Amino acid sequence: MTLQPSKVLGIGLVSALGTGVSATVPALYADNPRLPALPTCLKTDLHLPVFDVPGLSRQPDQPGGVSMQLLRLALDEALADARLTKAEMRRLRVGVAIGTTTACQLNNVPFYAVLRTGQRPAPEPLLDFLNGNLAELIHRELGLHGPQITVSNACASGADAIGLAHLWLHQDMCDLAIAGGTDELNKIPLDGFNSLGICSPLPCRPFDAERRGLNLGEGAGVLIMARTEVPDRPGTTFTVNGFGKTADAYHITQPSPDGTELEKAIRQALAQAGLASDDLGFINAHGTGTQANDLTEASVFARLYPDGIPYMSTKALTGHTLGAAGAIEAIFTLLMLREQRAARSHRFSTLPPDIAFAPLRENLPLKDKRFALSTSLAFGGSNTAIILGIQ
């Protein structure tokens, strides 16, 4: 069923490319992007490069931890971009949908080290967890009235939050929605993904024949979304046009190799947007750099586009930002549409024999293409497709 697009009144983000949209745009198209490096923000014996947010003075001791700190940076920028006052936010019905993976578990190692001995640890980490459900925190701090939800759907969380907000707006459950995702660099996913053997000891190479896995990253992205009737603001009008959501029901860690359900999610998003596949200018793939993910996605792209389509993974620039990925990458997609230039897929050089066509090797001017697709594939086989546009 076709839905009216939601408008995006403001965007804000922070990632390895920098804090804020104006730092991000040139970095998206730069020739020699910043490489990942061994982490300095956490203690680890593993030799795995990661993408941290540059220049961040980390403040972990707060509800929601560094994930909330990153989210606040993105949220403040998005609200300023949307030119919304706090009074307006309280007056209107405003929903909050935030995706995350690290901020919805209490994974503080020193806290647990004491707790497991039967002693009472200092309570602050527990209090920060109990008071740190991200959507609840924002809802409380801004004094909002409207639906609120924190999505913990692994790597699709940020995209799912945008999708749910899009549905809320369509169903008139709120006038505005704060939608996004955040995740900080954290030892738990670093050790965890390493134990699964899917972290690369080198800078990641999405879709490349020599790819060896993912690099973790951190960041946050926020969109201020509104119902379609809201008057346009000066400047480019961004839209969320379609949301597709399916599950592989295949395996707890591996994506379904043939990608049938991912393809279905993409078609759902197109149907909801009232678009044909030819209307899309490019695909911003999930493209983590693992063998399984990239192969599945590329197979689906080849089926949908036998003659090819421009596509890229921006995870070579930011790493895999987990719960933030869907939101950060949705914003990258909007920016590329605004700039009318699709960014190249960095560190791709050799086409693997089992991938039909290559991602972008160079930045590509878009010939008046106003829509693009962003895909997110979560661990456990959840597929999210978001179609974004400019008016």
Partner 1 sequence: MDEQTAQFRLDFKQKLIDWLQLEGLKPEDILDDAPLFKTGLGLDSLDAVEIVVALKREYGIPQELMENNRAIFATFATLADFVQTNKK
Partner 2 sequence: MLFLNTACILEDFSDEELKAVRLANGLRRADRLTSLAAAALFRALPERLPHGFSPETGLLTISSFGPHKTVFAMLDDILDFPEDQILPTKFTHSVHNAVTSYLGTLLGLHGPAFSLTCFESPIFTLLETAWTILESGLCHQVLALAIEERGLLTAEATKTCPQRFPVEPREAVGVFLASSAPTDFRLTLDRAKQLPRHAENPFGLPDETLEAFRTRQSFTLGTTCP
Residue 155: active-site member = yes
Closest CB 195 distance from partner 2, rounded Å: 4
Rg (CA), the chain: 20
Phi, psi of 154 (to 5 degrees): 55, -135
| Residue placing its CB nearer to partner 2 in the complex, 104 or 316 | 104
- 320 among known catalytic residues: yes
Q: Which is nearer to partner 1, 1 or 252 (CB)?
A: 252
Binding footprint of partner 2 on the chain (CB under 8 A): 1, 3, 44-46, 101, 104-107, 109, 112-113, 115-116, 120-121, 123, 126-127, 130, 133, 135-136, 146-154, 160, 164, 167-168, 170-171, 173, 187-189, 191-197, 243, 245-253, 261, 264, 268, 378-382
CB closer to partner 2, 12 vs 189: 189
Cβ of residue 345: shortest distance to partner 2, in angstroms? 27
Please, what is the minimum distance in Å from the beta carbon of residue 98 to partner 2? 10
Q: Answer yes or no: are the C-beta atoms of 5 and 241 closer than 8 Å.
A: yes
- Catalogue the long-range contacts made by 22-28 (C-beta closer than 8 Å, 24 or more residues apart): 24/331, 24/332, 24/335, 25/335, 25/339, 27/317, 28/314, 28/317, 28/332, 28/335, 28/336, 28/343
**Least distance in Å: CB of 212 to partner 1?**
12
Q: Which does 254 bind (CB under 5 to 8 A by kind): partner 1, partner 2, none?
A: partner 1
Q: Residues interacting with partner 1, by CB under 8 A?
A: 195-197, 251-254
Residue nearer to partner 2 on the CB measure, 133 or 321: 133
Partner that binds at residue 191, options partner 2, partner 1, none, CB closer than 5 to 8 Å by kind? partner 2
Q: Is the CB of 250 or the CB of 305 nearer to partner 1?
A: 250
Nearest CA to 130 out of 109, 106, 156, 96 is that of 106
From the candidates 166, 199, 204, 286, which is the catalytic residue?
286
Burial class (CB in 10 A: 0-12, 13-18, 19+), 202: middle
Burial (Cβ within 10 Å: 0-12, 13-18, ≥19) of residue 237: middle
Start-to-end Cα distance in the chain: 21
Q: CB of 316: closest distance to partner 2 in angstroms?
A: 24
Written as one letter, the residue type at 294 is D
> Which of left, alpha, beta for 360 (phi over 0: left; psi -120 to 50: alpha)?
beta
Min dist. Cβ of residue 226 to partner 1 (A): 43
151 binds, among partner 1, partner 2, none (CB under 5 to 8 A by kind): partner 2
Active-site annotation holder among 155, 174, 199, 204: 155
Interacting partner of 268 out of partner 1, partner 2, none (Cβ under 5 to 8 A depending on kind)? partner 2
Q: Which does 209 bind (CB under 5 to 8 A by kind): partner 1, partner 2, none?
A: none
Residue 247 binds which entry of partner 2, partner 1, none, CB below 5-8 Å type-dependent: partner 2
Specify the residue, 171 or 253, whose C-beta has the smaller distance to partner 1: 253
Smallest distance from partner 2 to CB 187, Å: 7
Would you call 170 a catalytic residue per the annotation?
Answer: no
Which one of the listed residues 139, 174, 204, 320 is annotated catalytic?
320
- Compute the distance between CA of residue 314 and CA of residue 331 in angstroms, rounded to an integer: 11
Task: Pick the closer one to partner 1 by CB: 251 or 361.
Answer: 251
Asked if residues 3 and 166 have their Cβ atoms less than 8 Å apart, the reply is yes
101 binds, among partner 2, partner 1, none (CB under 5 to 8 A by kind): partner 2
Is 86 buried (19+), middle (13-18) or exposed (0-12) by CB count in 10 A?
Answer: exposed
Q: Which residues are catalytic?
A: 155, 286, 320
